[in-house]
Amino acid sequence: MMWQSVSEFLSMGGRGFYVWGSYGVTFLLIALELWLLARRRRSSLTRLRQLQQLDRS
C-alpha cells in the first residue's frame, strides 16, 4: 500500500480536485445513464401497455 493515509490518498499530491473531479463526474454520468435507462424501460412499457388497452377497446 503506497498511501500513508486517507488524506494523502484524497489529496492526490495536491491535485485531488482534478483527479476526483474526473472520477466523480464519470461516476455521476454512468449513474445517470443507468437511471435514464431504467426510467426509459419503465415509461416505455407503461406507454406500450396503454396503447395495447386502446387497441383492444
Partner 1 sequence: MKLFHFASPQTFYPLAGRLAPVFAVLAAVLCIAGLYIGFLLAPTDAQQGEVYRIIFIHVPAAWMSMFIYLVMAFWSIVGLSLGTRLSFYMCRALAPTGAIFCFIALWTGALWGRPTWGAYWVWDARLTSQLLLQFLYFGYIALTQAIEDPRRADRAGAIIALVGAVNVPVIYFSVQWWNTLHQGASVSLTKAPSMASIMLSGMLVMAIAAWCYTLAVTLKRVRSIILERERHTDWAAAEIAGAQR
Binding site for partner 1 (CB under 8 A): 1-3, 9, 12-15, 17-19, 21-23, 25-26, 29-30, 33-34, 36-37, 40-42, 44-45, 48-49, 51-52
Output 1 or 5, the one with its CB closest to partner 1.
1
Please give the grid coordinates belonging to residue 53: 388497452
Angle CA 18–24–26, to nearest 5: 105
| Least gap, CB of 11 to partner 1 (angstroms) | 8
Output 14 or 57, the one with its CB closest to partner 1.
14
Distance from C-alpha of 57 to C-alpha of 53, rounded to nearest angstrom? 6
